Amino acid sequence: MVWVFSMKIISWNIRGLGGFEKRKEVCPLVREKCSYILCIQETKLSIISEAVCKSIWKDAYVDFSYPSNGASGGLVTFWDCKEVEVWSSFYFEHVIQIQGRFVKSDVEFTLLNVYAPCD
């Protein structure tokens, strides 16, 4: 049996997501690459609002996960709800873990978005 499926995941250390100009850079990348999942590190934001999320993804079918205390290096993970079903999200020090499945292929996954100090 041969398994062939497509998954498009982008990971980017953005070094600050607070400014509109920076968010404007992310949106075309997500569209151009038809990304299913976007992992961003070093957002430098303590809160990720739904408005920020929509300004990055530009689609109503997006969901996201981030540590509500603003810790873990400013991590956020976004996913396209048409392509990805996420059933759990966990936060650890410097890590967001999501578990789910790719809708079209029915392949289950665990994904870790990590940002930690070099030392």
Q: Which amino acid is at 4?
A: V
Length of the chain: 119
Residue 2: inside a domain, yes or no?
no
Q: Is the pLDDT of residue 62 over 70?
A: yes
What is the CATH classification number for the domain harbouring 24? 3.60.10.10
What's this model's pTM, rounded to 2 decimal places? 0.86
Residue 3: inside a domain, yes or no?
no
Q: In what order do the strands lie in the sheet with 84-92?
A: 84-92, 95-102, 107-114
Provide the residue range defining the domain that includes 108: 9-114
Residues 5-29 have pLDDT tens digits of 567 899 988 888 877 777 778 888 8
**How many domains, in total, are found in the chain?**
1
Beta bridge partners of 98: 89, 111
Amino acid 4: pLDDT: 56
Residue 24: inside a domain, yes or no?
yes
